[in-house]
């Protein structure tokens, strides 16, 4: 196999670091041509020294100057750029064969779209690209003959469990439906009353997975399952009513596919993101990921329960958004981003995350989206409304305390 040139968007985050861990195990297969991060230049500097990419991208001009000076002192020829335009250029580099799209949040949309327009193999770890702009993004992938391989453990498991020639026509392939599994997060057995007093530290203490703070909070509210349901709808052409969610605390079965003949195929493995990353990097081949073998005798019993929509109402909002269509999923996603950030900053309580998202969805009118610019504009409007709702709540609380 010839070496593949790889761009890693979000290289200093959890997914980015796991990607580079797989890459360093296979230097003959992968060459890193660009590394992109936002603010963590110390970690990015170390990555540049190790992988010697052609390009590095950071979030600001000042950080670019600092990183460039350090790389020159280390006798590295990596060219440093900054800003969104530089991210877009990195994602569409002529030298690149594959792009790991692992920037968290709506900030990852422009670069993911750029990779699609350039016809790259896209290893998609950014949920928001499909949640906010699923229809437009999938059309862009098709029109430019890009290849899309999902990185989320759930969607990667489904990808592996579907027929190799699956084209989105589920009936023709004998597919009856999909089952997305989730651990249930740290508050799986908590009552709503217990959840009202949880702290950001408790919400970020995921029982199975090592993830960033935002994704960890989404897991705690089960919003991540709602977002993944929307992703699965677009990725696999599956009607929402054929996508189930199952709470599976052991995090061994990463998702399942139901077939018309009664078969149910599943992908199992230890909860480590290097497994789906390795699968996606080498697809259609298989390579070592560094993840230990699953010990079936230590995993039993495996439990599956339906989600509790009353204790975790963010799930209901996700179903409401995808059924409403148009800009509703974009509004859902941005309102969640802003609310989670406010919770992590201790401006609102855990249970207020749902209340704020619902209020924003109620206030933003429906609007059709036909391009990436439309998606970003809808996101900006949802962000303004989210800040407004949070501001009103904080002002009301202060008034009540006086």
Residues 6+ apart with CB under 8 A from 208: 183, 249, 251, 271
Give the torsion sign (CA, 220, 224, 229, 230): positive
What is the end-to-end Cα distance of the chain in Å, rounded?
A: 69
For the stretch 324-381, pLDDT in tens is 999 999 999 999 999 999 999 999 999 999 999 999 999 999 999 999 999 999 999 9
φ and ψ of 120, to 5 deg: -80, 165
Structure tokens at 290: 């560094």
Task: Report the chain's mean pLDDT, rounded to a whole number.
Answer: 94
Farthest-apart Cα atoms in the chain, separation? 69
Q: How much is the pLDDT for 344?
A: 96
| The token pair that represents 133 in the structure block | 């702009």
**Segment 104-142, tens digit of pLDDT:** 888 899 999 999 999 999 999 998 999 999 999 999 999
pLDDT band for position 401 (50/70/90)?
low
Q: 3-state class of 214 per DSSP?
A: helix
Question: What is the CB-side half-sphere exposure of residue 119 using CA atoms within 13 A?
Answer: 5
User: Tokens 């969104």 belong to which residue?
Assistant: 84
- Beta bridge partners, 175, equal 259
What pLDDT, on a 0 to 100 scale, did the predictor assign at position 206? 73
In sequence order, the β-bridge partners of residue 181 are: 246
Number of H helices, E strands in the chain: 17, 11
Would you tell me how many other CB atoms lie within 10 Å of the CB of residue 269? Answer: 22
What CA–CA distance (Å, rounded) separates 289 from 26?
Answer: 9
CA torsion through residues 154, 156, 157, 161, sign: positive
| pLDDT tens, position by position, 152-164 | 999 999 999 999 8
Whole-number pLDDT of residue 106: 83
Q: What is the pLDDT averaged over residues 49-56?
A: 98
CA torsion 145→146→147→150, rounded to 10°?
-130
* β-bridge mates for residue 32, sequence order: 6
Write 390-394 long-range contacts (CB < 8 A, 24+): 390/338, 390/339, 390/342, 390/347, 390/348, 390/356, 393/348, 393/352, 393/356, 394/347, 394/348
In this prediction, residue 212 carries a pLDDT of 77
CATH 3.40.50.720, domain 4-150, yes or no: yes
What is the value of pTM for the model shown?
A: 0.92
Where exactly are the structural domains of the chain?
A: 4-150, 152-184+222-307
Q: Which residue has the tokens 């206030």?
A: 363
Backbone angles phi and psi of 202, in degrees to 5? -65, -40
Q: Please tell me the number of Cα atoms within 13 Å of 135 on its side-chain side.
A: 13
The confidence band for 2, taking pLDDT boundaries of 50, 70 and 90, is low
Confidence of residue 37 (pLDDT cuts 50, 70, 90): very high
Q: Which of 207, 234, 288 has the alpha carbon at shortest distance from 23?
A: 288
Closest among 145, 95, 99, 155 to 122, alpha carbons compared: 99
Q: Are 92 and 7 in contact (CB under 8 A)?
A: no
The whole-angstrom separation of Cα 39 and Cα 16 is 14
Residue whose entry in the numeric block shows the structure tokens 């919770």: 343
From start to end of 125-276, where are the E strands? 147-150, 175-182, 243-247, 253-259, 264-268
Span 67-110, pLDDT tens digits: 999 999 999 999 999 999 999 999 999 999 999 999 988 889 99
| φ, ψ of residue 79 in degrees (nearest 5) | -85, 135
Q: Is 82 helix (H, G, I), strand (E, B) or coil?
A: strand
- CA separation for the pair 134, 89 (Å, rounded): 22
């Amino acid at each position: 196999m010839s070496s593949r040139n790889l761009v890693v968007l979000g290289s200093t985050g959890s997914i980015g670091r796991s990607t580079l861990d797989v890459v360093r195990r296979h230097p003959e297969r992968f060459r890193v041509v660009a590394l992109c991060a936002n603010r963590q230049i110390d970690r990015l500097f170390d990555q540049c020294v190790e992988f010697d990419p052609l390009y590095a991208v950071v979030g600001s001009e000042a950080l670019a100057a600092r990183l460039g000076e350090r790389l020159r002192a280390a006798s590295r020829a990596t060219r440093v750029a900054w800003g969104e335009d530089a991210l877009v250029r990195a994602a569409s580099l002529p030298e690149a064969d594959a792009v790991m799209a692992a920037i968290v949040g709506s900030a990852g949309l422009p670069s993911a779209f750029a990779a699609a327009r350039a016809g790259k193999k896209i290893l998609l770890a950014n949920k928001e690209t499909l949640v906010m702009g699923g229809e437009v993004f999938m059309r862009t992938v098709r029109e430019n003959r890009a290849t899309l391989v999902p990185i989320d453990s759930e969607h990667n498991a489904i990808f592996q469990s579907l027929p190799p020639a699956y084209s989105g026509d589920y009936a023709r392939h004998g597919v009856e439906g999909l089952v997305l599994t989730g651990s249930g997060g740290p508050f799986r057995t908590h009552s709503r009353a217990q959840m009202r007093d949880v702290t950001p530290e408790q919400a970020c203490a995921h029982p199975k997975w090592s993830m960033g703070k935002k994704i960890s909070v989404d897991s705690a509210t089960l919003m991540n399952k709602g977002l993944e349901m929307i992703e699965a709808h677009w990725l696999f052409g599956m009607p929402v009513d054929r996508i189930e969610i199952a709470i599976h605390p052991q995090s061994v079965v990463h998702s399942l596919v139901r077939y018309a003949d009664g078969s149910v195929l599943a992908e199992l493995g230890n909860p480590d993101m290097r497994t789906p990353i390795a699968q996606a990097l080498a697809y259609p081949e298989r390579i070592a990921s560094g993840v230990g073998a699953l010990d079936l005798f230590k995993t039993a019993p495996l439990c599956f329960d339906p989600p509790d929509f009353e204790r975790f109402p963010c799930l209901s909002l996700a179903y409401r958004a995808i059924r409403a269509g148009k800009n509703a999923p974009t509004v859902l996603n941005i309102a969640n981003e802003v609310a989670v950030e406010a919770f992590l900053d201790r401006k609102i309580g855990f249970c207020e995350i749902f209340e704020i998202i619902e209020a924003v969805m109620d206030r933003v009118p429906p609007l059709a989206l036909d391009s990436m610019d439309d998606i970003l504009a809808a996101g900006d409007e949802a962000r303004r409304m989210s800040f407004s709702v949070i501001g009103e709540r904080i002002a009301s609380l202060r008034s009540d305390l006086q």
